[in-house]
Amino acid sequence: MVQNDKTRVLANPEASNWGAPFAAHAPKHETAAEELSRKRKSAEYQTDTNSYPPWRQTNKQNAFEDRISYSPTDKRQRIDFKNSSKSKANLEMRKKRFEDPRSGYASSPSSRGESPTPGPPSGPVVGTCQNLEKNYFRLTSAPKPDTVRPLPVLMKTLDLLKKKWKRDNNYGYICDQFKSLRQDLTVQHIRNEFTVNVYEIHARIALERGDLGEYNQCQTQLRALYAQNLGGHPTEFKAYRILYFIHTRNWTALNDALADLTPADKRNHAVKHALDVRSALALGNYHRFFQLYLDTPNMGAYLMDMFVDRERLSALAAICKAYKPDVKIRFITEELGFESDEQSARFILDHTAEDLLQEKDGIVKLLTGGRAAQLFEQAKSEAHRVVDIKGQI
């Protein structure tokens, strides 16, 4: 599923600006789910223990509803650069860059204690740093120009990151670098097609790795950027947005997303697909839903993988109530988009009892009826509890 999807994305010139295919290994479904689970837990833990200094808390008041920014884990900050050989000058530069944020951090409270510091200088920073790679640190004061990379350097950085992602597939490193890249764009007030491109690429990589918090941050920014008509692929991301709200079961936000669509948007293939997915689910048409699932444009399948099992449980609850006395496992496999009879059998056994699958004359059947219906109904209810997602909305 994921492999086919990736091929389709790469074959579609409109979908992505990436110059060449990246050879990422398709994560197994269980593995992806586990990673997502761990990632989410890690993010929540990080948020709880991250105590902001007082002036930082003041800034947070600017956000109206609770907006949680995803902060990098310690592991990410400790990532070593691949190319270990650096000239002495580069090492000096690196050391200086590491020290600067800390010294800024240290000086702020005493300065504030003595007398109120005037606000940060208005207007963008003009960067002078020439390094292609830079670790991400949260800003605690106005950045120094020599730690910020100007646009031509950032363009080279993006090229480098694309190559590294294709070659190394190291998500922790790539996420750290992209956040740094985004930050340099922000402090220089750069908003152009390049900016859109950066956010789109980061969003797609985050989607592929199931990092919904990071994806959500990028997607929020993209909405604002698209509103300024700077280019990019707005309909691709509008489709993701709809699928995302299906995943989070946020019906209010979903209605808003529908209200935002123009007639031209609705004719776009990816958006139309997402709308059809939503409609199929609303009506319980699991047959159509799984047909759509197997034919998802761009990278939408990564999002649909987040809720496809939930919908399989819904479908099985309906099937067990409606069909008697049994159905063939092959029917389940084909109807619910499984890759094999073995996969669908395993899924059924994960949620019910072993004796509900019976083999006779070489044919495996699921015994539908009261008991199976009850078990799937139970599993469905648990799966449909509201999803808690960190990140900006």
Partner 1 sequence: MDTILEDLRLGHHKGSGRHLAAALTPIDTPRLPNRLKSFYKRWPAAQVPSNIRQCILQAPARDSPKLPKQELNAWVDVFTAYWRAVGEIVQFEDYSSRASWVKVFDAWKELANILIRGYSNFGFQAWTIPCLYVVGKYLRIFAIKADAEIASQESMAFADRFQDDVTTDFGKNGKLEETARILNRMFTLCLGDRNSIEESRKWGVYYMTNLLFKTYFKINAVGLSKNLLRALNAQSGDIPPLGSFPKSHIVTFKYYVGVIYFLDENYVEAEQHLAYAWDHCHKNAIKNRELILTYLVPCHLVTTHTLPSRKLLTPFPRLEKLFRPLCDCIRKGDLHGFDAAMSAGEEEFVKRRIYLPLERGRDIALRNLYRKVFIAGGFEESKDGQPPIRRTRIPVAEFAAALRIGTHADDRSRVDIDEVECLLSNLIYKGLMKGYIARERGMIVLSKGGIAFPGTGV
Rounded to the nearest 5°, which phi and psi values hold at 165?
Answer: -65, -40
Residue 169, by phi and psi: left (phi above 0), alpha (psi -120 to 50) or beta? left
| 124 near partner 1 (CB under 8 A) | yes
In whole angstroms, what is the distance from residue 112 CA to residue 57 CA? 14
| 105 near partner 1 (CB under 8 A) | no
| 363 near partner 1 (CB under 8 A) | no
- Name which of residues 5 to 34 contact partner 1 (CB under 8 A): none
Residues facing 327 on adjacent strands: 366
Q: Mark the segment that binds partner 1 (CB under 8 A) among 74-82, 127-135, 151-159, 188-196.
A: 188-196
Strand order, beta sheet including 357-360: 326-328, 363-367, 357-360
| 151 near partner 1 (CB under 8 A) | no
| 193 near partner 1 (CB under 8 A) | no
Tell me the number of residues near partner 1 by CB under 8 A: 60
> CB of residue 220 vs partner 1: minimum separation in angstroms?
8
DSSP 101-133: HHHHHHHHHHHHHHSPPPPPPSS--------S-
Q: Which is nearer to partner 1, 215 or 286 (CB)?
A: 286
> CB of residue 119 vs partner 1: minimum separation in angstroms?
7
| 268 near partner 1 (CB under 8 A) | no
In whole angstroms, what is the distance from residue 22 CA to residue 6 CA? 9
Q: Mark the segment that binds partner 1 (CB under 8 A) among 6-14, 151-159, 297-305, 313-321.
A: 313-321
In whole angstroms, what is the distance from residue 386 CA to residue 365 CA? 32
Q: Which is nearer to partner 1, 62 or 340 (CB)?
A: 62
| 374 near partner 1 (CB under 8 A) | no
In whole angstroms, what is the distance from residue 15 CA to residue 166 CA? 17
| 183 near partner 1 (CB under 8 A) | yes
Binding site for partner 1 (CB under 8 A): 59, 62-65, 67, 69, 119-124, 138-142, 179, 182-183, 185-186, 189, 191, 195, 199, 217, 220-221, 224-225, 227-228, 251-252, 254-256, 258-259, 279, 282-288, 317-319, 321-324, 327, 331, 334-335
